[in-house]
A and B are shown apart, each in its own frame.
Chain A
Amino acid sequence: GMAANKAAKEQKYDRQLRLWGDHGQEALENAHVCLVNATATGTEILKNLVLPGIGAFTIVDGHKVSGEDVGNNFFLSTNSIGKNRAQAATELLQELNSDVSGNFVEEVRAAGSTCLRLGAVLWNAEVPFLVCRTYGLVGCMRLVVREHTVVESHPDNALEDLRLDQPFTELKNHIDSYDLDSMEKKDHSHTPWIIIVAKFLEKWYSEHNFQMPKNYKEKEAFRELLRQGILKNENGAPEDEENFDEAIKNVNTALNATKISSTVEDIFSCDLCDNITAQTPAFWVMARAVRDFVRDDGNGILPVRGTIPDMIADSEKFIKLQNVYREKALQDASVVSKHVESLLQSVGKVCPPGYLLIMKFFKCVFIISGKNAAFLRVVRCRSLEEEYSIESVNKDEITSCMDNPDSEMVLYLMLRSIDRFYQQHSHYPGVYDYQVEEDISRLKVCVNSLLQEYGLSVSVKDDYIHEFCRCGSAEPHTVAAFLGGCAAQEAIKIITQQFVPFNNTFIYNAMTQTSATFQL
């Protein structure tokens, strides 16, 4: 039945739900992905999307399955030889996950120039496009998306939002409710370090003209002040107060000035934030609402995040302190949501009616205003046209990377060159043994003409030209599998709007097990 199915899905997807949550999974299950060409790389990407439960996939491929295809592709078998490749791959991928619906379209294969044309169509349609290729021991991915907004970027090691430099009223009142000097040892040793730092900061302010400790010397002096605050036993030796140890350890980061990052400031100064219309996507309506909060209600600061790290303290003190931050965050979120309401009203849109919808709507606002406001990201990739056009090619990036002739950039130049080779000779270099020697010099011509056409004064080592002939456009499975994992996760990032996609060209060198990302 339906309920049993839902429970089974929760169990099946448990390990990934812990990464992107139920709302991320919902986004994934409402997504439809199209794969052009069921090569090993292509089926490996799809495998990593079907397994986590993408809503649907479509494979477009006009090729017939060859013996060579079956050799490197886990989702083709010998009895698919001669069949349409899209159909054969769809069957074996579909069988990985019955929650997913797959279908296929037999269509003529897409060669180099088709990619640019397809890129233009998708750019205009605002459909994210990921171009992936495995060529010998090299993998390459290019993301083409006009504008991708990230609501939840889940940064590693983000600094806490404690507001010790400018405690809001409720926090100030809470801090004032403590009198460290009159506390018994038990309470003293179990007071949260945030309170301790706040109290000693007040002492520091009175002796330092209300300026925070700024440099190493001052912070060290502040730490010493904290040390002096540790209770002493009857022999004058300091007691074991772990909460004070924590306070001392956190001085470095706890006293940083609360300010808005340049990334978020950039988001606030975008056109889309300024001009809200009925067509403005939700992300920008919310970003504008947060901006309005910052300017009207927050004194130039973002809404409070509302979380604090765990710390040595007794339950009551910790929970009380945590609630001070939480309640403030909820308050701020409520103000932000009022801004959202008035923005929507101003463009003739009505807030969704009904209690439950309002709660869901509110939760969205809370997500963007409280927990994630500081970590909003926008990724804008240049179009393929911009990358390929002589007027707008990113010469600087290419030439500076090529200062190191073994930089992954040389692999990018080689991939551009073999496409040029294909255009001229209707085959990739060195596919057949007898071609290898001849194609090396022909490929060199292509490399040089490419460099000349784009005005790139860099030199490409002969070794790379030789290697790109040697590999004869082979697609070894392990390299396809590596790229398949990378590409699938980027697609998931786009679909869930969680975590930050790369921008915009990723090159993987399986020979050296190194990689690089270029913005081309």
Chain B
Amino acid sequence: MHCGKAWDTESMADGDELEKKRRKIEALSEKMAVDEGHVACGGDWDGRWNHLKKFLERSGPFTLPDFEPGTETLQFLLETCKILVIGAGGLGCELLKNLALSGFRNIHVVDMDTIDISNLNRQFLFRSKDVGRPKAEVAAEFVNSRVPGCNVTPHCQKIQDFDESFYRKFHIIVCGLDSVIARRWMNGMLISLLNYENGVVDQSTIIPLIDGGTEGFKGNARVILPGMTACIDCTLELYPPQINFPMCTIASMPRLPEHCIEFARILQWPKEEPFGDGVSLDGDNPEHIQWVFMKAQERASEFNITGVTYRLTQGVVKRVIPAVASTNAVIAAACATEAFKIATSAYVTLNNYLVFSDVDGLYTYTFEAERKENCSACSQVPQDLQFSSSAKLQDVLQYLTESTSLQMKSPAITTTLQGKNKTLYLQTVASIEERTRPNLCKTLKELGLADGQELAVADVTTPQTVLFKLNFTS
């Protein structure tokens, strides 16, 4: 019986030394692989796809009606199928691994972020030496090197940097995003690709969207067929808006350590500009966090509040969501399984929402999320706006941002008046905001809007403008 000790960390005094040694051995191993000719130019080897072939070359009782056993499906996966992964973080790393080992070769990955040390507890394609490098790039490098023949193309950009011509090229899109806004944008983009004929969606323009999300020990995975099944906006109430503490609590009656931290962040920082004029708080800068921490401690002691810690400060300022490898592994696995099913018809696809939690035992719940008849994203129906003609534009703006079914962030409202395009209010460009701000206090009637008027609203939550129809209640 041979007992090997691969690494004896006790005898290594310095972690860096260990790291260098390991990297050297890994580099040698990779080199050996090429030299010994086990793999010829990323080609396949004996038995490589055995685990998948059972499901692609044999008939079975649970396959879809259009499934045909044979070698074509594997060929399709390996040579033709183009799949896009959005995000190369906790879910993204897992997704890339899962897809690569499921026969997908033509994979693109989009992520604008760079690697941070706090990613390393779960984003396993990255090492401490990679900190600071773009996630998409390092992830692609790792997978391409570990899985011969796999061709992951990285895009170190925001999803908004691409237009229809980019997204249209993919058979399937899988999202491992950490923001609801980005999800809604992606959702809107795929909806904008749809072609309708006589009110019926042209199936060939549908790109399935598989979306995964995790938070601590909870997660969900869903399959969206834009134009056919519930989209992100159909179920917006499943993503309740983040709760912010009321300003009066922060400003004059703090009770929790979080209130003290928000006081330092929201009120003291802009006032004192501790790191220079116009220098905004950077949650990734430890000096900034330290400043907020100390100010928060001062405030806390003023009010006899305990519990302000550096970790809590960082968590509040950066809106940190706790995360572990295991939850991301589970959700990404479920998503990749669905991608495989969609690409191969080997099994019925998830219809359409899976919820997972392993806080107490393990719990899953699978249900069919329903489409919303008047969904602002996918229903094709102009959205109804019911207001009195004496209501102010401010009221409309408030509705757009606060309604749970719309949850817009900074909507820009335009309309056509006397044949000309007119911007009623726009927040995102300072000069235009200033010019259109007086409109907020004017009534809809004063602005010249008529009953049945169409308003076009643009917002960061959607790539296309949303059309609203104004209905005067009085």
> How far, in Å, is A392 (CB) from chain B's closest CB?
22
B46 at the interface (CB under 8 A from A): yes
A313-343 contacts to B (CB < 8 Å)? 313-316, 318-319, 322
Instruction: Judge whether A511 and B348 touch: CB under 8 Å.
Output: yes
A464 to B326, CA, bound (A): 29
A106 to B1, CA, bound (A): 7
Q: Inside 8 A of A466's CB, which chain B residues have their CB?
A: 60-61
A233 at the interface (CB under 8 A from B): no
Instruction: Judge whether B62 and A463 touch: CB under 8 Å.
Output: yes
> How far, in Å, is A87 (CB) from chain B's closest CB?
6
Instruction: Judge whether B45 and A477 touch: CB under 8 Å.
Output: no
Q: Inside 8 A of A74's CB, which chain B residues have their CB?
A: 97, 101, 146-147
Instruction: Judge whether A478 and B118 touch: CB under 8 Å.
Output: no
> How far, in Å, is A434 (CB) from chain B's closest CB?
12
A478 to B341, CA, bound (A): 11
Q: Inside 8 A of A484's CB, which chain B residues have their CB?
A: 329, 333
Which residue of chain A has the shortest Cβ distance to B245 in the bound complex? A310
A481 at the interface (CB under 8 A from B): yes
Instruction: Judge whether B55 and A476 touch: CB under 8 Å.
Output: yes
Instruction: Judge whether A488 and B58 touch: CB under 8 Å.
Output: no
Which residue of chain A has the shortest Cβ distance to B336 in the bound complex? A478
Contact with A79, one of B5, B36, B333, B334 (Cβ below 8 angstroms): B36
B52-71 contacts to A (CB < 8 Å)? 52, 54-55, 57-62
Instruction: Judge whether B6 and A16 touch: CB under 8 Å.
Output: no
Instruction: Judge whether B48 and A67 touch: CB under 8 Å.
Output: yes
> How far, in Å, is B139 (CB) from chain A's closest CB?
13
Instruction: Judge whether B255 and A503 touch: CB under 8 Å.
Output: no
A94-B6, A489-B217 are known contacts. Are A476 and B52 too (CB-CB below 8 A)?
yes
Instruction: Judge whether B32 and A463 touch: CB under 8 Å.
Output: no
A501 to B98, CA, bound (A): 26
- Indicate the size class of the contact surface on chain A: 35 or more
Residue interface bits A503-520, CB-to-B below 8 A is 1, else 0: 100101011111101000
Instruction: Judge whether A319 and B255 touch: CB under 8 Å.
Output: yes
> How far, in Å, is A463 (CB) from chain B's closest CB?
4
Residue interface bits A39-53, CB-to-B below 8 A is 1, else 0: 010001001100111
Instruction: Judge whether A477 and B117 touch: CB under 8 Å.
Output: no
Chain-A contact segment, one of B120-128, B396-404, B449-457:
B120-128
Instruction: Judge whether B29 and A77 touch: CB under 8 Å.
Output: yes
Chain-A contact segment, one of B188-196, B361-369, B381-389:
B361-369
Instruction: Judge whether A153 and B33 touch: CB under 8 Å.
Output: no
Contact with A68, one of B9, B48, B117 (Cβ below 8 angstroms): B48
A66 at the interface (CB under 8 A from B): yes
Contact with B322, one of A18, A53, A79 (Cβ below 8 angstroms): A18
Instruction: Judge whether B47 and A66 touch: CB under 8 Å.
Output: yes
Chain-B contact segment, one of A175-183, A409-417, A467-475:
A467-475
Instruction: Judge whether A499 and B359 touch: CB under 8 Å.
Output: yes
- Indicate the size class of the contact surface on chain B: 35 or more
> How far, in Å, is A520 (CB) from chain B's closest CB?
14
User: Which of B46, B49, B57, B364 has the most chain A CB atoms closer than 10 A to its own CB?
Assistant: B364
Residue interface bits A84-127, CB-to-B below 8 A is 1, else 0: 10010011001111100111111100000000000000000000
Instruction: Judge whether A104 and B329 touch: CB under 8 Å.
Output: no
A129 at the interface (CB under 8 A from B): no
Q: Inside 8 A of B230's CB, which chain A residues have their CB?
A: none
Instruction: Judge whether A433 and B58 touch: CB under 8 Å.
Output: yes
Which residue of chain A has the shortest Cβ distance to B6 in the bound complex? A90
A475-B51, A489-B217 are known contacts. Are A51 and B6 too (CB-CB below 8 A)?
no
A14 at the interface (CB under 8 A from B): yes
B315 at the interface (CB under 8 A from A): yes
A102-B7, A107-B1 are known contacts. Are A470 and B254 too (CB-CB below 8 A)?
no
Instruction: Judge whether A515 and B304 touch: CB under 8 Å.
Output: no
Instruction: Judge whether A13 and B329 touch: CB under 8 Å.
Output: no
> How far, in Å, is A510 (CB) from chain B's closest CB?
5
Instruction: Judge whether B362 and A502 touch: CB under 8 Å.
Output: yes
Instruction: Judge whether A313 and B326 touch: CB under 8 Å.
Output: no
B314-357 contacts to A (CB < 8 Å)? 314-315, 320-330, 332-334, 336-338, 340, 347-348, 350, 354
Instruction: Judge whether A78 and B39 touch: CB under 8 Å.
Output: yes
Chain-A contact segment, one of B14-22, B80-88, B160-168, B417-425:
B14-22
> How far, in Å, is A498 (CB) from chain B's closest CB?
10
Which residue of chain B has the shortest Cβ distance to A319 in the bound complex? B304
A349-403 contacts to B (CB < 8 Å)? none
A485 at the interface (CB under 8 A from B): yes
> How far, in Å, is A199 (CB) from chain B's closest CB?
20
A311 to B4, CA, bound (A): 59
Contact with B347, one of A12, A102, A511 (Cβ below 8 angstroms): A511
Q: Inside 8 A of B334's CB, which chain A residues have their CB?
A: 478, 482, 510, 513
A21 to B320, CA, bound (A): 15
Q: Inside 8 A of B305's CB, which chain A residues have their CB?
A: 315, 319
A11 at the interface (CB under 8 A from B): yes
Instruction: Judge whether B5 and A103 touch: CB under 8 Å.
Output: yes
A492 to B121, CA, bound (A): 14
A318 to B252, CA, bound (A): 13
A467 to B59, CA, bound (A): 9
Instruction: Judge whether B62 and A310 touch: CB under 8 Å.
Output: no
A70-B48, A513-B364 are known contacts. Are A81 and B9 too (CB-CB below 8 A)?
no
What are 11 A-to-B residue pairs whose CB atoms are below 8 Å? A12-B128, A15-B324, A71-B101, A103-B6, A155-B360, A315-B254, A463-B61, A481-B330, A482-B329, A488-B329, A510-B347
Not counting A71-B101, A94-B6, a sample of 20 additional A-B residue pairs whose C-beta atoms are within 8 angstroms of each other reads: A14-B118, A14-B121, A15-B320, A16-B122, A18-B320, A51-B325, A70-B45, A78-B33, A81-B38, A91-B29, A98-B15, A102-B6, A104-B6, A474-B54, A476-B52, A476-B102, A481-B332, A481-B336, A486-B326, A513-B334
